Amino acid sequence: MTSPLFRPLEAGELSLPHRVLMAPLTRNRAGEGNVPGEMNATYYRQRASAGLIVTEASQVAPKGQGYPRTPGIHSDEQVDGWKLVTNAVHEADGRIVLQLWHVGRISHSSYHGGEKPVAPSAIAAEGETLTANMEMKPFETPHALETDEVADVVEQYRRGAERALEAGFDGVEIHGANGYLIDQFLRSGSNKRTDRYGGSLENRLRFLQEVVDAVVDVWGAERVGLRLSPLSGFNSMSDDTPVETFTAASRVADEAGLAYLHLVEPSDPKPPVTGDGEVREVFSAIRDVFAGVLIANGNYDSETASHAVESGYADAVTFGRSFLANPDLPRRLREGLPVNVPDESTFYNGGAEGYTDYPTWDEIQNGEAEIETIDQLAELAARG
C-alpha cells in the first residue's frame, strides 16, 4: 500500500506531488551583502525532490536580521541571488516558497550600526546572542515601535513579498513562529502595548492581520502560507492564554484563505502526534478553525508522519534536520532506506562542508560517499 505521505496534495495554487516537505532551515551561508549564491542554489537543487521546499528565513529589511550571513530579500542583489536558487529548483522540477522574516528583538545593535533592535515592547529576551562581530552578548532592550512605525514594518513585508515574486518563487511563507517579530506581537509575554497593537487579543492580532493582508495583496492568498509555533517557549516567549491566542491567529489565516498553515509542535519528549494535554487541545482547536491545508512539523519520522496524515491530524509534514542531512529524503522514506545523521556542528556555520556534501542514497551505493557518513550509517544501524 502506498504510504499516505506519497499522495499528492493541493495547497491553494501549490500542487504538491507528495507530502514529505522540507522545513525552513537557517544555515548562515549567504554571501557578501547577505546575497544567496551558487553554493546555496546547489544545496536547494539537491533537495528539489521535496513535495515543497520552504527556504531558510529571509529578512525583509536590514533591521529584520539577527544572525550572521542570513540571506535577505530587500536588495536587488539579493533578488538576483535568489533567482539562482529558484531557477535551480525549478530546473530540477521542484517547488519552493520563501520564508519572510523579521527577527524583532532577537537581534543586536551590532547588526544595525549601533541602533537598537525593534519590538512591540521594550522587553529584552533572556540570554545571549551572537553579534555581528561574532561575540556572545546579552540581548538588548529593544526600541518599542511607535504606532506609526508599525506601518513601515508592514510595508517592509509587502516589499519583501514583491521581491520574492520578482525572484521567481512559487509562493511565500510568513514566519509567525519561534519568538520573532510577529510572534512577539501575538503573545502577551512580549506585547505590553497600550495602543491598537496591544492589550486585548484582538489588538495583539492586528500586526499579523496587517502583514497577511499586505502579503496576500501581492501574491493572492492561494500562494501564501503562515507558520506558527503555539506553546513554544523558544526565544523567551510566553502567553497567558495560548489556546485562545493561537486559535484566533489561525482564524486570521483561515479568513484570509491562506494556502496552508504550518505548525511547529513541541517535540520533546514525545513525537507530537501522540501529544496530550494542552498540546492536544491547541492543535485540535486549530484544526477546527483552519479549513485549509495543515502542515505539521517537529521531530517526525516516517512512521509518525504517516500516522499524522493517515489519521487526518495533518495534511502534510515538514522535515527539518533529516532533510538537512538527506538531500533525497522522500526516496529514503518511500523505500524505507537508512538515513544520514545530521552533523550539528555545521548547522549554522561553514561552507560546503555539512551543507552540500551529504550524499544521496545512490552516491552511497556507488561508493562516492564520505567515510564518515558510512560510519554514521553503521552507527545508526547498530542503534537499530
Binding mask 99-118 for ligand FMN (x = CB under 6 A): x-------------------
Task: Give the start-end residues of each E strand in the chain.
Answer: 9-11, 14-16, 20-22, 53-59, 96-101, 118-119, 128-130, 136-138, 143-144, 171-175, 224-228, 260-264, 293-297, 316-319
Burial label for 124, CB within 10 Å (0-12, 13-18, 19+), is: middle
Of 191, 232, 247, 299, the one binding ligand FMN by CB under 6 A: 299
CB of 54 or CB of 88, closer to ligand FMN: 54
Q: Compare residues 24 and 72 and give the one whose CB is closer to ligand FMN.
A: 24
Name which of 55 and 144 has its Cβ closer to ligand FMN: 55
CB of residue 70 to ligand FMN, shortest distance in Å: 8
Considering the rule CB under 6 A, would residue 271 count as an interface residue with ligand FMN? Answer: no
Tell me: does residue 34 bind ligand FMN (CB under 6 A).
no
Q: Least separation, in Å, of the C-beta of 200 and ligand FMN?
A: 27
Residue 75 corresponds to which cell in the numbers above? 536588495
Q: 58 with 72: CB under 8 angstroms?
A: yes
Nearest residue (CB) to ligand FMN, 46 versus 297:
297
- Angle at alpha carbon of residue 177, lines to 175 and 319, rounded to 5°: 85
Which 218-237 positions form the footprint of ligand FMN (CB under 6 A)?
Answer: 227
73 near ligand FMN (CB under 6 A): no
Q: Hey, is 145 helix, strand or coil? A: coil
At 87, which amino acid appears?
Answer: N
- The residue sitting closest to ligand FMN, measured at its beta carbon, is 320
Cell for 153?
Answer: 514594518
The correct pick among 60, 177, 216, 231 for binding ligand FMN (CB under 6 A) is 177
> Which of 17, 26, 132, 257 forms a contact with ligand FMN (CB under 6 A)?
26
Residue that has been written with the C-alpha cell 549554522 in this structure = 348
Cβ neighbours, 10 Å, residue 336? 8
Name the residue nearer to ligand FMN (CB basis): 54 or 153.
54
Q: Report cis status (omega within 30 of 0) of the bond before 269.
A: yes
Q: What angle do CA 336, 339, 341 make, to 5 degrees?
A: 160
Count CA within 13 A, CB hemisphere, residue 255: 11
Would residue 180 show up in a list of annotated catalytic residues for this protein?
yes
Part of the chain binding ligand FMN (CB under 6 A), chosen from 73-81, 105-113, 156-164, 175-183: 175-183
From residue 180 to residue 219, the character string flagging contacts with ligand FMN as x (rule: CB under 6 A) and all else as - is ----------------------------------------
Residues 309-338 that bind ligand FMN (CB under 6 A): 319-322
Q: Report the residue number, 152 or 301, with the smaller CB distance to ligand FMN.
A: 301
Q: Which amino acid is at 272?
A: P
Is 25 a binder of ligand FMN (CB under 6 A)? yes
Site string for ligand FMN, 335-374 (x = CB under 6 A): ------------x---------------------------
The C-alpha cell that represents 2 in the structure block: 502506498
User: Which of 261, 237, 235 lies closest to 248 in space, CA to CA?
Assistant: 261
Integer-rounded Cα radius of gyration of the chain: 20
Site for ligand FMN contains 47 (CB under 6 A) = no
Q: Which of 21, 50, 57, 164 binds ligand FMN (CB under 6 A)?
A: 57
CB contact at 8 A, 108 and 117: yes
Please identify which of the residues 43, 180, 260, 300 carries the catalytic annotation: 180
**Which lies closer to ligand FMN via its Cβ, residue 62 or residue 350?**
350
| Contact partners, residue 279, CB within 8 Å, separation at least 6 | 231, 265, 266, 272
Q: Which of 298, 327, 330, 354 binds ligand FMN (CB under 6 A)?
A: 298
Dihedral (C-alpha) 204, 206, 208, 211: value to the nearest 10 degrees?
-150
Nearest to 119 by CA among 217, 24, 26, 236: 236
The residues of the shown chain that bind ligand FMN, judged by CB under 6 A, are 23-26, 56-57, 99, 175, 177-178, 227, 264, 267, 297-300, 319-322, 347
Q: Catalytic positions, please?
A: 180
